[in-house]
Amino acid sequence: MCVLIILFCWELNVLTMQKKVRVLANTLGKIGVSLFCLLALPGIGFCQSVVDYNGLLKVSFNKIVNQHNEVVSFAGNSFFWSNDNWGGEKYYNASVVSWLKRDWRATIVRAALGVEDTGGYINNPESNKAKLKAIVDAAIAEGIYVIIDWHSHHAEDYTAQATAFFKEMAEQYGEYNNVIYEVYNEPLQVSWSNIIKPYAETIISSIRDIDPDNLIIVGSPEWSQRVDLVAADPITGYDNIAYSLHFYTVWHQQWLRDRATEALNKGIPLFVTEWGSIGYTGTDPETDKWMDWCLKNDISHCNWAVNDKDEEWSIIRPGSSTTGGWSSVFLTEAGKLAKDIIKNWPTIGFSSGK
């Protein structure tokens, strides 16, 4: 039996892996054999990806848990805006996702679909959607998690477009445990209860009509930092909802950690879908404090951004390869710091072999 399983794993085509695994699991189930137990045996576990092990992510009070009800947190990268001709879109390809998974040990990536700005989804939906799907498909093939991010500062002005988009995403990807929906990146200084929450409930409803259980993340006012307002009036009509927290260490320090801790204590699950270090300094003590806080509270996080733009938070230097393969000389100081954090993040179920 073990020899047969090894041969099967060796021949898997990555684009159809999950379907083949489901077929194998069903076959093994008929003869009373657990696929998980077989893959966990010495010499066979390399077949198992982080998503194979952790499965569908679920909210449990203020934590994210896996299919075994173990508290989990993941570390990875956020891609830059997908907008046409903004520069970062050239990294929206499967090779970069594979490199981040294998070299950085990233267990999650985030595709930031630009919406209302020039060159974004509203101007050119098919181009931006194709770029996003390239990341989602690659993440599924690599067996890591992926956030489909409606990367907007004014999402409530595009509710109809967001509804149609997330319906399409749920129809295409709702069956995959890899997928997480982020329905509003960074609201500005607008009301949580009167604007953001009603918008989010509309989009959540459209997703839940198709996909009943994948994790959904919602932003909060003031660039996803007013999690205290969310804690005072959370979304209660739907299950498996978490809330994003964004920080950039040059601006957001202990006061925001205190606010976020208070929100956690009130039962709000948080997910850092975007963060950036001060950059180009070699060290960043404030990043260390944030990572200690994330580790202590089991918070997943995605570093901004996979891009070579000449700014503090890009992880690679201008002109770096668009397919990965970056040695340390191509990494910015912010990139070196992020890589060290992501590569050493303690993630349950990670196997570099898949």
CB 139 within 8 A of CB 97: yes
Catalytically active residues are: 186, 274
Task: Report the C-alpha gap between 273 and 155 in whole angstroms.
Answer: 17
Give dist(CA 64, CA 297) in Å, integer: 10
Give Cα 145 distance to the centre of its chain.
6
Contact 351, 49 (CB under 8 A): yes
- Among candidate residues 78, 226, 220, 93, the one with its CA nearest the CA of residue 149: 78
262, 255 Cβ separation under 8 angstroms: no
Kindly give, in sequence order, each residue whose CB lies less than 8 Å from that of residue 49, ignoring residues fewer than 6 positions away: 142, 143, 144, 351, 354
* Structure token pair of residue 186: 């960074």
Q: How far apart are CA 12 and CA 76, in angstroms?
A: 25
* CA pair distance 192, 200, nearest whole angstrom: 10
User: Residues 243, 220: contact at Cβ < 8 Å?
Assistant: yes
Q: What is the C-alpha to C-alpha distance for residues 250 and 168, in angstroms, rounded to an integer?
A: 37
Closest residue by Cα to residue 183 from 164, 205, 166: 166
Alpha-carbon distance of 331 to 334, in angstroms, equals 8
User: Cβ(44)–Cβ(5) under 8 Å?
Assistant: yes
